[in-house]
Chains A and B, each alone.
Chain A
């Protein structure tokens, strides 16, 4: 347990770095926020007033301190576009993106890991080349193109997918009472199967469009680490001991391959979370990607800053999670340092 605390403590420097960078970022962005807030009709005095009100006339260290104090109070400023506190917006929208990303990753894992394992057991065979080609092609198509194509085929032509109107067709269903903010989870908690299935159906196409992109890195790392594990001395020992193929593949090779795979999964997850902007646009998904795009287009500084800060914090936390997962997989990690 003390290990967990140590790792948790270890994230503190990265978090401090994140805060400093987001603070500096807001000052590096082009444009004068005070002028922007004041609006087109403002003159020099009203801009100066607003600058003073925003605290932008003070020295950088003082502003930084103020920023820290605000952060500690959970104050990320107000969004210009929504008029709400940025924190409220983010909390509102983050679960939608996390849910989508999670399902995309689950889709990718279910396909790519067996593929990688399969390819590794017959390297340089036709099957191996086929797997590699498939995942490369899947990654080569632009995400939004795949998104549109899937909508066209499965909604418009075949009619098997629901209308791409976001997380839930709210004409037919009411969103479940909010607990986690993820519709599939919340509908399960409230025992509403209809809504659960409906929100699941809404997730299928966007999750696949997003997940296709993740197939290649996951399949590749699985194949590589499985090849290494299968060629290792301890696999040879297991074979010399006459253990069955399935046991060698799972208990000996796969578990050892899992550590690099879990590291890549963490990276892929945060990458997907940050890159599902286009998918959210195509599917009308009310997630943070769509929020960030709107904020950037509207020069909504506080929102952009809040978004960047949240993504960075999530990234740090995700890394922590992957680390902790690693210690469960590999006892050697527990004893390091």
Chain B
């Protein structure tokens, strides 16, 4: 079984003046072809760091301590920068939070799509424009011929995110990484954008790594979900299993803190405590300080991967 993307025991630290930030430790994940995998966790749990490591855009202060990232057949961490740049935008694409600032403010959006096409697609310069307009039409932007000439500041946030998606999908990548693509957009626009991402991934058999802090959103749009906490992946399972039978206490608390159509404000519970400071010495289980089920075994290293069913893994000594 080789997935589209396979992350094996990835550990990454940031060397800063105030010490090493252990942002990722032993992170393993894989995505199958055509699958939508959600990565969920509170802000600061390392989701973006993981995404940047995959696409090879991590901060210069980042140092990979170990592990592998295999994309297609390519070992992303060992590959040359040239090889990685060649994959980016063509086979592996990414969209971001705050789409308005993610687009070049002084370049027509159509031209920005053309930049990507010119770099990666086998399109003659005469055809570039038509392809760019097609890309805009594909993300259901009304009147794409006119929007081709628009600058980002003339478009709404949701429209900018569509342009970002059009850009990301212009070369029909195998994997799309979407880092909080709808955070900051209003609820209606959020649904439109998410439907768009889902439809396009389904129709193109494209894999999607959807990063969000919103477990409800992930539950609605993903096939599988990985829960992250303080640089650890603590649980991976299909959506149904994860939502109905969470095995990690953190997942359970996340669920308790996620509003559903049935829940009331009183029914929601906040997650006690906060993320540990990643610069300090950390216990084997980084959740133990916040965990009510803590036992002596939680101190033991290494933190185990416990399989509690087909395709359901949890990193906990005493799973639920």
CB distance from A281 to the nearest CB of B (A): 43
Which residue of chain B has the shortest Cβ distance to A240 in the bound complex?
Answer: B94
CB distance from B294 to the nearest CB of A (A): 39
Interchain CB contact under 8 A, A232 and B101 = yes
Tell me which residues from 232 to 247 in chain A have a Cβ below 8 Å from any Cβ of chain B: 232-234, 236-244, 247
Tell me, yes or no, whether B75 is within 8 Å of chain A by CB.
no
Tell me, yes or no, whether A332 is within 8 Å of chain B by CB.
yes
Interchain CB contact under 8 A, A247 and B115 = yes
Tell me which residues from 131 to 161 in chain B have a Cβ below 8 Å from any Cβ of chain A: 151, 153-154
Mark interface residues in A215-259 (1 if CB within 8 Å of B CB, else 0). 000000000000000001110111111111001000110011000
A332–B98 Cα distance when bound, in Å, is 18
Count of interface residues, chain A, beta-carbon cutoff 8 Å: 22
Tell me, yes or no, whether B107 is within 8 Å of chain A by CB.
yes
B residues less than 8 Å from A330 (CB atoms): 105-106
A330–B119 Cα distance when bound, in Å, is 25
Interchain CB contact under 8 A, B105 and A332 = yes
Which residue of chain A has the shortest Cβ distance to B177 in the bound complex?
Answer: A240
Which residue of chain B has the shortest Cβ distance to A239 in the bound complex?
Answer: B57
CB distance from A333 to the nearest CB of B (A): 10
A residues less than 8 Å from B49 (CB atoms): none
Interchain CB contact under 8 A, B151 and A332 = yes
Interface bracket on B: 20 to 34
A330–B90 Cα distance when bound, in Å, is 29
Interchain CB contact under 8 A, B106 and A241 = no
Interchain CB contact under 8 A, A252 and B104 = yes
A233–B120 Cα distance when bound, in Å, is 21
Contact A237/B87 with A247-B115, A256-B104, A329-B106 known, Cβ cut-off 8 Å: no
Tell me, yes or no, whether B116 is within 8 Å of chain A by CB.
yes
Which residue of chain A has the shortest Cβ distance to B153 in the bound complex?
Answer: A332
CB < 8 Å: which of A241, A331, A332, A335 contacts B93?
Answer: A241
Tell me which residues from 172 to 207 in chain B have a Cβ below 8 Å from any Cβ of chain A: none
Contact A241/B107 with A233-B102, A251-B115 known, Cβ cut-off 8 Å: no
A residues less than 8 Å from B154 (CB atoms): 335
Tell me, yes or no, whether B47 is within 8 Å of chain A by CB.
no
A residues less than 8 Å from B103 (CB atoms): 234, 237
Interchain CB contact under 8 A, A240 and B57 = yes
Query: Could you tell me which A residues sit within 8 Å of B by CB distance?
Result: 232-234, 236-244, 247, 251-252, 255-256, 329-332, 335
- 23 pairs, A vs B, C-beta closer than 8 Å: A234-B103, A236-B57, A236-B96, A237-B96, A237-B167, A239-B57, A239-B88, A240-B89, A241-B115, A241-B168, A242-B86, A242-B87, A242-B88, A242-B120, A251-B104, A251-B115, A252-B104, A252-B107, A256-B105, A330-B106, A332-B105, A332-B106, A335-B153
Inter-chain pairs besides A234-B105, A237-B167, A243-B115, 20 sampled, C-beta below 8 Å: A232-B101, A233-B96, A233-B101, A240-B55, A240-B88, A240-B89, A241-B88, A241-B89, A241-B116, A241-B168, A242-B85, A242-B86, A242-B89, A242-B116, A255-B107, A256-B104, A329-B106, A330-B106, A332-B106, A335-B154
